[in-house]
Amino acid sequence: MLKKILIVVLIGIGMLSLVGSYTAPTYNDVNFSLCSGYTAPTYNDVNFTLGLSDACVTDSCTYSSGDWNVDCNDNCTITSNTDLGGNNLSLSGVGTFTVEANITSFGYVFKPNGCQINILRGTGGFNK
């Protein structure tokens, strides 16, 4: 019986020693982006340092889907044909929006006074 108790005590001391002297591994050059729409998982008792970069910085010049909201401060030049699928093009801010390709199948175009639309002759334009 004494041997069993002694073994349990030794195992317990070994476990305490392991937990007490544990050093978490270090990972270098681990890159990840926290962009809009992403919800980070939750971890308890985890410490880390987060360095920010411009990896998530985007401009409004590229159309993906739905209404296209363009910030004229980005001074976009559209060089690829873009089909809006009946969605609207909404310009905001102050700057230029230059069209060197065809923008087709749009609903409405909303433009504030501070945004200038440039359509280069012979290169493209708006085709509803």
The DSSP string of 3-30 is HHHHHHHHHHHHHHHHHHT-------S-
The answer as to whether 107 is a domain residue is yes
The answer as to whether 2 is a domain residue is no
Tally of domains within the chain: 1
Tokens of 61: 């010049």
Q: Which tens digits make up the pLDDT trace of 46-76? A: 555 555 555 555 789 999 999 999 999 999 9
Say if pTM beats, i.e. exceeds, 0.75. Answer: no
DSSP annotation of 59 reads -
Domain encompassing residue 112: 68-127
Amino acid (1-letter code) at residue 14? G
Q: What is the C-alpha to C-alpha distance for residues 42 and 56, in angstroms, rounded to an integer?
A: 21
The answer as to whether 97 is a domain residue is yes
Of 105, 107, 62, 106, nearest to 80 (Cα)?
62
> Phi and psi of 119, rounded to 5°?
-115, 115
pLDDT at 73: 95
Q: Which tens digits make up the pLDDT trace of 93-123? A: 999 999 999 999 999 999 999 999 999 888 8
Note whether 103 and 84 are within 8 A (CB). yes
- Using the predicted structure, report yes or no on whether residue 7 has a pLDDT greater than 50: no
